[in-house]
Amino acid sequence: MVDRLANSEANSKRIGVVEGCFGAAGQPLAIPGRVLIGEGVLTKLCRKKPKARQFFLFNDILVYGNIVIQKKKYNKQHIIPLESVTIDTVPDEGDLHNGWLIKTPTKSFAVYAATATEKSEWMNHIGKCVGDLLQKSGKAPTGEHAAVWVPDSEATVCMRCQKVKFTPVSRRHHCRKCGYVVCGPCSEKKHLLPSQSSKPVRVCEYCYVQLTSGGLAPRSDSITRLGSKFNNLSDDDDDDDSSD
């Protein structure tokens, strides 16, 4: 089906409509062989709170953005190459249902569909696209991915020292290696994580020791987490204070 649609006029028009919805600030999306597989609204677990985002699945990339006017205008366009994506289901808990993790070397986050059927369709289509790309390229699946950030609301005290309480003065920070919410004193170090940035990024004291000694720090995408209500995590790419 993808091969049949690749050079069709209908596919070109659909991609053109998506480009138009992002306006001049969005990157061009039409390239030879690219096909728009589907689209829909998913709830993305961001640093501050869950937010609705418009997602577009192509046969080689996943695109999402903020909804400005439903079905007409989006901004803050993000493009994720599917070849680097791995996905994992997230158990239902609390008010959040039908979720899964989208993990890449540069960013990882949780999204939630409105129904179990939608979740299944999204995961199946993403998995099929990733599999086809890897088969064509002969590459192995991505082995490393960025930590998924623990939401601010899930930590009232530093997740490392378990002592410092967060206040307007004592701010929350995120370790780029494990994704934990940590205090300033526990995250004074920086370390180069090439897949995430060309410059050294904030890491917690524990991860810094592990990184500099060659050990392995714990990841924050396992579905069990230090006494939390749930382990559904977020990145900060469309929230304020992203430098933290």
Q: Based on the domain organization, do 100 and 211 belong to the same domain?
A: no
pLDDT of the residue at 31: 93
44 has which bridge partners?
A: 51, 111
Domain span at residue 162?
Answer: 146-218+229-236
Closest CA to 81 of 109, 111, 59, 101: 59
Check: CB of residue 40 under 8 Å from CB of residue 55: yes
pLDDT of the residue at 4: 65
Residue 69 lies in a domain: yes
Q: Based on the domain organization, do 112 and 153 belong to the same domain?
A: no
Q: Based on the domain organization, do 12 and 115 belong to the same domain?
A: yes
Residue 36 lies in a domain: yes
Q: Based on the domain organization, do 122 and 34 belong to the same domain?
A: yes
Q: What is the domain-level CATH number for residue 84?
A: 2.30.29.30
What sign does the dihedral 5-6-9-11 (CA atoms) show? positive
Q: Based on the domain organization, do 93 and 192 belong to the same domain?
A: no
Q: What is the domain-level CATH number for residue 195?
A: 3.30.40.10
Residue 241 lies in a domain: no
Closest CA to 67 of 58, 57, 59, 56: 56
Q: Based on the domain organization, do 19 and 111 belong to the same domain?
A: yes
Residues of the chain with pLDDT under 70: 1-4, 6-7, 215-244
Residue 125 lies in a domain: yes
Q: Based on the domain organization, do 176 and 129 belong to the same domain?
A: no
- What predicted TM-score, i.e. pTM, was given to this entire model? 0.81
Q: What is residue 15's three-state secondary structure?
A: helix
State residue 15 phi and psi, 5-degree precision.
Answer: -65, -40
Final residue in a domain of this structure, among 75, 107, 137: 137
> Could you give the number of structural domains in the chain?
2
Burial of 216 (0-12, 13-18, 19+ CB in 10 A): exposed
Q: Based on the domain organization, do 106 and 194 belong to the same domain?
A: no
